[in-house]
């Protein structure tokens, strides 16, 4: 697949390198002139012609960026990896929740994009080909477009994930707080190699 990644931070780079290892053609859409040896472009150029785009920017920049790319993103599968983190007052907190979510705000900013929430409940080091003693961890996803979710689920399974679909994009209301549980375990133990797995009878 031709994959555009918006954001060249930890997540953008981890996904770009991981997808590259799987043979995908990856372009990082960034304001930076260069990001190591990765192929980079302006965000609008990284989106154009992509089969799938991953949103991997700071939560507080997500809505404005996606809104500015709403035209080019029309009809595109947009994987939203962001979390609505606000660390301005010390310990991070979520700047939206309960009755709305960043995933829903991203979908509203680009109504024609086929938004799928994914990747927000795990650290970037495990995002592609996670290796854990308990077997493949679970990536929880949500989104309103079934075909887009099938595409994302296929990409996730190909890159080492068990996938659980929690429903529409409003599932972001439950997935975004899950990132705080992931962070809390890391802070308490000083380790960052953990991931969630949903144990269920049918698997
Ligand atoms: N770090 C993780 O392990 C992890 C795990 C799950 C989810 N997430 C979420 O994934 C997202 C990216 O996290 P990260 O750790 O990769 O962040 P990061 O390393 O701090 O990088 C921040 C990214 O945000 C972009 N950005 C910042 N301000 C921007 C603006 N005004 N307009 C457009 N882009 C802007 C930057 O884009 P440029 O390339 O243009 O500089 C940069 O790529 C966040 O929402 C985070 O909550 C992170």
Encode pLDDT of 129-157 as tens digits.
999 999 999 999 999 999 999 999 999 99
Task: Report the pLDDT averaged over residues 25-46.
Answer: 98
pLDDT given for residue 4 in this prediction: 99
Q: Does 67 sit in the ligand 1 pocket, CB within 6 Å?
A: no
Give 203's pLDDT tier (boundaries 50, 70, 90). Answer: low
Q: Residue whose CA is closest, atom 15 of ligand 1?
A: 10
Best residue among 7, 28, 182 to mutate for probing ligand 1, ranked by most atoms within 8 Å of CB: 7
Distance CA 160, CA 141 (A): 15
Q: Where do the domains of the chain lie, and which CATH numbers do they carry?
A: 2-189 (3.40.50.720)
CA 73 to chain CA centroid, nearest Å? 16
Across the chain, what does the average pLDDT equal? 98
Sheet with strand 2-6: strands edge to edge: 40-41, 25-29, 2-6, 52-55, 77-80, 114-117, 138-143, 162-165
CB of 121 shorter than 6 A to ligand 1: no
What are the pLDDT digits (tens) for 88-111?
998 899 999 999 999 999 999 999
Using the mean position of ligand 1's atoms as its centre, give its distance from the Cα of residue 9 in Å. Answer: 5
pLDDT in the model for residue 91: 87
15 pocket-lining for ligand 1 (C-beta < 6 Å): no
The radius of gyration computed from the CA coordinates of the chain, to the nearest angstrom, equals: 16
Q: Quote the Cα angle for 191-103-161, to 5°.
A: 50
């Amino acid at each position: 697949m031709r994959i555009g990644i918006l954001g060249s931070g930890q997540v953008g780079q981890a996904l770009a390198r991981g997808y590259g290892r799987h043979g995908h053609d990856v372009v990082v859409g960034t304001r930076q002139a260069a990001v190591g040896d990765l192929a980079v472009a302006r965000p609008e150029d990284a989106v154009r012609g992509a089969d799938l785009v991953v949103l991997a920017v700071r939560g507080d920049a997500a809505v404005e960026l996606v809104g500015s790319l709403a035209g080019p993103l029309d009809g595109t599968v947009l994987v939203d990896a962001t979390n609505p983190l606000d660390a301005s007052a010390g310990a991070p907190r979520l700047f939206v929740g309960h009755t709305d979510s960043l995933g829903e705000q991203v979908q509203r900013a680009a109504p024609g994009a086929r938004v799928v929430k994914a990747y927000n409940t795990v650290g970037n080091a495990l995002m592609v080909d996670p290796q854990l003693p308990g077997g493949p961890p679970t990536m929880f996803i949500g989104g309103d477009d079934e075909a887009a979710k099938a595409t994302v689920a296929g990409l996730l399974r190909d890159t080492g994930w068990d996938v659980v679909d929690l429903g529409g994009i409003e599932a972001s209301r439950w997935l975004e707080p899950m990132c705080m549980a992931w962070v809390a375990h890391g802070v308490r133990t000083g380790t960052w190699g953990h991931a969630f797995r949903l144990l269920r009878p049918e698997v």
